[in-house]
Amino acid sequence: MPELPEVEVSRLGISPYLEGQFIEKVIVREKRLRWPVPETITNLVEQPVLSVTRRAKYLLISLPQGDIVLHLGMSGKLCVVDACTPTIKHDHIDFVLRSGKCLRFNDPRRFGSCLWQENGQQLSLMANLGPEPLTDDFDSNRLFTLSRNKRSAVKTFIMDNQVVVGVGNIYANEALFLSGIDPRRQAGKVSKQRYQTLTDNIKRVLAAAIAQGGTTLKDFAHADGKPGYFSQHLRVYGRQGEPCEVCETTIKSQVIGQRNTFFCPQCQR
Catalytic center residues: 2-3, 57, 259
- From 135, 75, 71, 78, select the one nearest 103 (Cα to Cα): 78
Crossing angle (nearest 10°) for helices 192-213 and 169-179: 130
Question: What is the C-alpha separation between 47 and 59, in angstroms, rounded?
Answer: 17
| Burial degree of 154 (CB within 10 A; 0-12, 13-18, 19+) | buried
Q: Within a 13 Å sphere around the CA of 70, how many CA atoms are in the beta-carbon half?
A: 28
CA 199-5-27 angle, 5° bins:
145
160: left (phi over 0), alpha (psi -120 to 50) or beta: beta
Q: Which amino acid is at 208?
A: A
* Alpha-carbon distance values, 241 to 75, 85, 184, 246, 254 (Å): 28, 45, 18, 14, 12
CB 3 within 8 A of CB 166: yes
| Burial degree of 241 (CB within 10 A; 0-12, 13-18, 19+) | exposed
- Output the known binding site for DNA: 90, 109, 150
- Output the known binding site: 90, 109, 150
CB 182 within 8 A of CB 268: yes
